[in-house]
Chains A and B, each alone.
Chain A
Amino acid sequence: MELPVINETPAASAGGCSSHSCGTSDDQLGHLSDEIRSKVENHPCYSEDAHHYFARMHVAVAPACNIQCHYCNRKYDCSNESRPGVVSELLTPDQAVKKTMAVAANIPQMTVLGIAGPGDPLANPERTFETFRRLSAEAPDIKLCVSTNGLALPESVEELSKHNIDHVTITINCVDPEIGAQIYPWIFWENKRIKGVKGAKILIEQQQKGLEMLAAKGILVKVNSVMIPGVNDKHLAEVSKIVKAKGAFLHNVMPLIAEAEHGTFYGVMGQRGPTQDELMDLQDSCSGDMNMMRHCRQCRADAVGLLGEDRGDEFTMDKIEAMEIDYQSAMEKRKVIHEAIAEEMHSKRAAKVEKAASHADEPKLNTRPVLMAIATSGQGVINMHFGHAKEFLIYEASPNGVRFMSHRKTDLYCGGDDTCGDGESVLQQTIRSLAGCEAVLCSKIGYEPWDLLEKAGIVPNGEHAMEPIEEAVMAVYKEMAAAGKLDEAAPQEERATA
């Protein structure tokens, strides 16, 4: 018997999404207008489907910030680090335009240029808008987007709406100033540094006002929230409801990243981040009210490539200066490639819907859900060697179908070599990152990891190479069910805690 892939079944109601269909697949966005759907279908940060195919880049033109967040350290810059707010090379608008065109010519799947820092883009209006102005004119086939803390957003909405900017992300961690004061120690507002609850209150008001103004202009708004256990974790479901009511269309709840070596308030004070389970539980509890984004990689403010990869090293300024870019011909090539990708996505989607429909009448399993890890380099298929995977996508299979849950980085937040860290081998670390999963699907796998995975209670599987992820996950789930493995309880003690 065959089970439907949930993300491809029509949304249960027009007003939101069922708790089982909250990726950002197109059917789950079914209540949006065609215009909005067309705006997100090639945006990797707005569409879960698109992130398997399309790449994005950030240009680091915005160093200044107008607030302080307790998860950020303005001194930090490390090339081994991968998290928001970290960059290696600050660019002028002119350099940013050159870099964007060089990347667009060399990575034709790159569809989106974002400005995300390392400070707040709207606290650097001249540098940010100069970059947008030039790119709108010189590279009109690239989508522009910006992310902001929201403090300077209301005064920037008019200017943003002039630049072909379809997407704005606002980081909103709270709507309660008392909670805000535990996240934001100060803001700079009307020529003064304002601390504590008073500052947080102004920031929250500006964020909400900016969100309403953008929604009124028809600009798509995604809200990012950092989940901070004991600070705003209980509060974020309410944030989700409020931002949805004001017109945000996607909510991205991300885990706090806090380590003492980052020198941030939370890192130094020992504030912990959420566990994988806590994060997934919160995303599920918000999902009844809001479209949830689960595929965010919390990338650097100068990241280049598909989500989860960073090809920034190929595009340093010295390398770009040496490149000769003919953007007109690059644009023609890009158009052909984008059309081919769109066609591939549409035909894959249609095939899935058809397959699901043809098996709709079959009897339903009554077995427990299972998490599986997938090694992929994109295109929605299992096409990566276990040992080459820098991250795994986590899918849940259940009698209701298959849904995307999250991703797990194998090297956590540090790309340093073996001498960096506590000496745990890369393989051990990788296997630990898969805690809670019962199978791992990859194109190939070596003997050593095979043994270690089995010992850890995770079944390695290389039999579905080049197959579409959802179909393979469901096939493995049914094999597990047929073998009686799902009659046993899930190995609870091995669920992820880090």
Chain B
Amino acid sequence: MALQIIESCVNCYACEPLCPSKAIYMSEKTGHFRINPKKCTECEGDFKDTQCASICPIEGAILDALGVPINPPGSLTGIPPERMAEAMAELQAH
């Protein structure tokens, strides 16, 4: 069982020092932080909440073991996804 950081990571470093298993590393290959699945314990035995997903500011950047975003759209910014889509469509139209 392991979490995963995907390419929408903005490299803010917030998660890296929090990981109790030192599973988070900067990947030269992808240019963003990643989680070593062999080391990740999902914070089992250390913390109630997974630490990286509790501080990550980017919705959708961290996936659970099933590949589901732990912080889905709207959950961190409070912007309803449909409102975000509307705003982006308006900007595109200009």
Contacts and interface: CB of A to CB of B under 8 A. Distances in A.
A265 B80 CA distance: 9
Interface in B50-70: 51, 54-55, 57-58
Contacts of B78: 70, 185, 265
Interface in A89-104: 90
B29 interface: no
Contacts of B12: 63-65, 74, 119
Interface string A152-190: 000000000000000000000000000000000110100
A337 interface: no
Interface residues of B, number: 25
A488 interface: no
A68 interface: yes
Interface string A55-80: 00000000111101010011100000
Given A74-B58, A75-B58, A192-B54, A68 B76 contact: yes
Contacts of B14: 63-66, 119, 123, 188
Given A74-B57, A268-B83, A268-B87, A185 B76 contact: yes
B38 interface: no
Contacts of A33: none
Interface residues of A, number: 28
Contacts of B54: 188, 191-193
Interface string B23-60: 00000000000000000000000011101001101100
Contacts of B10: 74-75
A9 interface: no
A260 interface: yes
Contacts of B13: 63-64, 124
A261 B83 contact: no
A323 interface: no
Given A268-B84, A269-B79, A193 B49 contact: yes
Contacts of A268: 79, 83-84, 87
A479 B17 CA distance: 64
Interface in A75-128: 75, 90, 119, 123-124, 126
A264 B77 CA distance: 8
A187 to B, nearest CB: 10
A70 B18 CA distance: 24
Interface string A4-32: 00000000000000000000000000000
Given A75-B10, A185-B76, A261 B91 contact: yes
A93 B51 CA distance: 25
Nearest to A124: B13
A10 to B, nearest CB: 48
A188 B55 CA distance: 6
A221 to B, nearest CB: 25
Given A64-B14, A65-B14, A185 B58 contact: no
A264 B47 CA distance: 30
Given A268-B83, A268-B87, 16 more contacts: A68-B76, A68-B77, A70-B78, A74-B10, A75-B10, A90-B11, A119-B14, A124-B13, A185-B77, A188-B54, A191-B49, A191-B54, A261-B91, A265-B77, A269-B83, A422-B94
Interface of B: 10-14, 17-18, 47-49, 51, 54-55, 57-58, 76-79, 83-84, 87, 90-91, 94
29 contacts: A63-B11, A63-B13, A64-B12, A64-B14, A65-B57, A66-B14, A68-B57, A68-B76, A70-B77, A70-B78, A74-B10, A74-B58, A75-B10, A90-B11, A119-B14, A185-B77, A186-B76, A188-B14, A191-B18, A191-B47, A191-B54, A192-B48, A193-B54, A193-B55, A260-B90, A260-B91, A268-B83, A269-B83, A422-B94
